[in-house]
Amino acid sequence: MILAITNQKGGVGKTTTAINLSSALASKGLRTLLIDLDPQANSSMSFLDVREVSKTVFDVLTERDVHLADIVQPVMKVANLHVAPSSIALAKIESKLLGEIDSYYRLRDEVELVKDSYDFVIIDTPPTLGIITVNALVAASHVLVPIQSSYFALEGTDDLLETIDKIKARANPQLQILGAVITMYDKRTVLAKDIQEQIRRVFGEKLFETVITKSVRLEESPAYRESIFTFAPRSSGAYEYYRLSEEVLSRV
Ligand SMILES: Nc1ncnc2c1ncn2[C@@H]1O[C@H](COP(=O)(O)OP(=O)(O)OP(=O)(O)O)[C@@H](O)[C@H]1O
Ligand SMILES: [Mg+2]
């Protein structure tokens, strides 16, 4: 499965979901590759010392002779997990690929070369629907949409679903929405329950049963370059992301 974690809204939990879901899958013994496609490089920073990174996905997408296998790094604290790091250079990719006929297919071609080495490929995407996210959706077999439990939770969802439909129509007919997951849920509020119902109306059975609640532990763990499973294994976040990984596997 090649799973893009996508929502063009910023700060909804894409990176937190990408790093913890990939850790959960890797800890089950599944060979997992986390591709960081966000120029902010938060996923990379959560696992690697970015000062030791030289080549990144930017080079893979722009240079013919650099491939994912050349840039992936193992994560020291998580067996079976590799990361393809990003860098701020990715922010310049639009202009770099402008006019290239295969610009939307670059990632797909590169993932094709390594996909037999992994059971799962997880792609963390930036908060835009530009060329980077389109590359992720063209390369992916499935999309997972994190939705922040907030008053404006569903704002922009139409654009996302429309983009997914356009990509399905042409570039990637196999693409499927695996599911949507509610993040930063605060179970004490009535509003949160209300929002959950609204989200369920849009996504129906695609909405994961697992809800990721708001947790300081989840917020802290990347700073220590750890997933929630080693940083706070007994926290609600660890339990919930483990549950989410089980649900993801049940939908494979
Ligand atoms: N369940 C949670 N509880 C508390 N804080 C969270 C939770 N999930 C994410 N956060 C925090 O919220 C912020 C945004 O999360 P994250 O970086 O995962 O979102 P994102 O969608 O990847 O953002 P961007 O669009 O900028 O890439 C981060 O500071 C993160 O630590
Ligand atoms: Mg992010």
pLDDT digit string, tens, across residues 95-139: 999 889 999 999 999 999 999 999 999 999 999 999 999 999 999
Percent residues over pLDDT 90 in the chain: 94
| pLDDT for residue 62 is more than 90 | yes
| pLDDT for residue 151 is more than 90 | no
Query: What are the backbone dihedrals phi and psi of residue 186, each rounded to the nearest 5 degrees, phi first?
Result: -115, 105
pTM comes to 0.97
| pLDDT for residue 211 is more than 90 | yes
Cα(215)–Cα(102) distance, integer angstroms: 41
The pLDDT tens digits of the residues spanning 214-234 come to 999 999 999 999 999 999 999
179 confidence band (pLDDT: 50, 70, 90): very high
- What is the per-residue pLDDT for 50? 87
| Averaged pLDDT for residues 61-88 | 97
| Averaged pLDDT for residues 78-101 | 95
Top mutation candidate among 6, 15, 132 for ligand 1, by most atoms within 8 Å of CB: 15
Cα(41)–Cα(36) distance, integer angstroms: 7
- State the closest ligand 1 atom to the C-alpha of 42, by its place in the atom list counted from 1: 17
| Averaged pLDDT for residues 240-246 | 98
Mean per-residue pLDDT over the chain, rounded: 96
Which residue, by CA, sits nearest to atom 11 of ligand 1? Answer: 219
The pLDDT tens digits of the residues spanning 183-197 come to 999 989 999 999 999
Check if the beta carbon of residue 251 is closer than 8 Å to that of residue 179: yes
| pLDDT for residue 140 is more than 90 | yes
| pLDDT for residue 55 is more than 90 | yes
The pLDDT tens digits of the residues spanning 5-44 come to 999 999 999 999 999 999 999 999 999 999 999 999 999 9
Please give the distance, rounded to the nearest whole angstrom, from the Cα atom of residue 39 to the centre of ligand 1.
15
Specify the pairing of strand 32-36 against strand 2-5: unpaired
Please give the distance, rounded to the nearest whole angstrom, from the Cα atom of residue 92 to the centre of ligand 1.
24
Please give the distance, rounded to the nearest whole angstrom, from the Cα atom of residue 41 to the centre of ligand 2.
8
- State the closest ligand 1 atom to the C-alpha of 17, by its place in the atom list counted from 1: 18
